[in-house]
Chain A
Amino acid sequence: MGGNAVPPGKSIDVGVLMDSSPEDGEDGPERSVGKTRDFLVFRSGAWYAVDAAAVEAIADFSEPTFLPRAPAYVLGLMNLAGQPVAVIDLPTFLQITGSGAEGADDGFRRVLMVVGAGMKAGIRADQVVGVAETPLDQIRALPAAQQRRLARYTSGEFDWRDRLITILDVETLLAGARVTG
């Protein structure tokens, strides 16, 4: 299965990125037949994927509203699907430096609105490529040498279109990013 590049637009439903729709009786991202899972693949410095079911919407990135005293990984607030949502800069949160995000083309910048841990948040993406329908047996555990902080928020990796894609666990990611008193 291939993916479709995300065109500029106001807000995109994730379903339009999928090459095929689930057949009758298969309405979840994980199919009982063939054991695959749909991941939305995007670049934020490095290549990542999140469970497509955790993505509510994709919108063009615009300058977020500044929030004083927010941690550096919170870029600010954006109106996504009619509500204020905090936008996370992934490389900053994961403490990954020199990942090339600064060289990203603004025209491809998007925000993924994800849901997890009882919250909604935006993840800034340099580019959203599409949905990868991935056989579960092709998902590998992360190498033990992987950075500990990154490993905490990931659930595996897979190869897709000659790229190494790291799967983010949205639940632990948002729980970890939640600002505490």
Chain B
Amino acid sequence: MKKSWSVLESQVGQHFVAFDASTVAGVRHEGPAATGRLLLDLARVFGCEAPTERRTVLTFDGDPGFDVLVGTAVAFREVAQAQLLKLPELVAALGPRSAVMGLVSRDRGYSLLMDSRGLGQWVTQGGPSE
């Protein structure tokens, strides 16, 4: 049984997000968007202030048709199984519609473990508002 996973973490505003590193196809600096390419800005999705520094764009395996704009810095981190947590029962139903697969524990609080395919639904639905 797999005992650890590699995640890619970034800070978006005051929030931390993580992606399964095995699904990340590429990491690049923010730049002019390729024609016809959708870019999902997580800062806008979360309704938080975007950093003024040049940010990082993630591309994903299987080409979901969009890229994701995260914070300025990203970091790969190995996490143990015990650090990967399910959403608590009270809010578990939010998982599919918020594209949050679970949580990665940090020193203080959690990173949201995001599902890149689930984020695609946000793109097609036009954003996070209820």
Instruction: Give chain A's interface residues, CB within 8 Å of chain B.
Output: 62-71, 74, 77-79, 83-86, 118-121, 174, 177-181
Does B32 reach chain A (CB closer than 8 Å)? no
Which residues on A sit within 8 Å (CB–CB) of B128?
68-69
| Residue in A65, A70, A85 whose beta carbon sits within 8 Å of that of B109 in the complex | A65
Within 8 A of A (CB), among B59-84: none
Does B6 reach chain A (CB closer than 8 Å)? no
The residue in chain A whose Cβ has the minimal distance to the Cβ of B103 is A84
Number of CB contacts from chain A to chain B under 8 A: 84
Instruction: Give chain B's interface residues, CB within 8 Å of chain A.
Output: 14-16, 45-46, 85, 87-94, 96-100, 103, 105, 108-110, 112, 128, 130
Q: Is the interface of B mostly helix, strand, loop or mixed?
A: mixed
A3 to B108, CA, bound (A): 32
Which residues on B sit within 8 Å (CB–CB) of A177?
90
A83 to B84, CA, bound (A): 11
The residue in chain A whose Cβ has the minimal distance to the Cβ of B87 is A84
Return B71 CB to nearest CB of chain A, in Å.
14
A158 to B90, CA, bound (A): 29
Which residues on B sit within 8 Å (CB–CB) of A85?
88
Interface centre among B15, B90, B108, B112 (most CB of A within 10 A): B90
